[in-house]
């Protein structure tokens, strides 16, 4: 069984889902964990990947972030 590690966190659920889909497009298993408090809507969304895919996931995330900043 794989150990999962956090590779990204954001307060934006849409951004988390976009990144998860991008990772999966690159054949990286990824899950989004909702770490928000449902009563106060504070917290964040966390993306986790299997430990053995962490380094390649970080490359994909860097590219995703570069493209995200270019759009703004």
CA distance 40 to 56: 35
- Joined together, the tokens standing for residue 10 give 């954001």
Residue 41 CA to chain centroid, in angstroms? 19
pLDDT of residue 43: 87
Q: What is the average per-residue pLDDT within 5-26?
A: 95
| 4-71, CATH topology level | Alpha-Beta Plaits (3.30.70)
DSSP codes, 25-64: HTT---EEEE--BTTTTBS-EEEEEEGGGHHHHHHHHHHH
Percentage of the chain lying above the pLDDT 90 cut? 72
Q: 28-52, pLDDT tens digit by residue?
A: 999 999 988 877 778 899 999 999 9
pLDDT at 71 over 60: no
Average model confidence (pLDDT) across the chain: 90
Name the residue ranges covered by the structural domains of the chain: 4-71
Q: What φ, ψ does residue 49 adopt, rounded to 5°?
A: -135, 160
pLDDT of residue 72: 46
């Amino acid at each position: 069984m794989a150990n999962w590690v956090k590779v990204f966190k954001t307060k934006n659920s849409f951004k988390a889902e976009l990144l998860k889909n991008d990772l999966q497009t690159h054949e990286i298993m990824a899950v989004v964990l909702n770490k928000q408090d449902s009563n106060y809507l504070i917290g964040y969304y966390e993306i986790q990947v299997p430990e053995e895919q962490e380094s390649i996931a970080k490359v994909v995330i860097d590219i995703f972030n570069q493209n995200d900043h270019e759009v703004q």
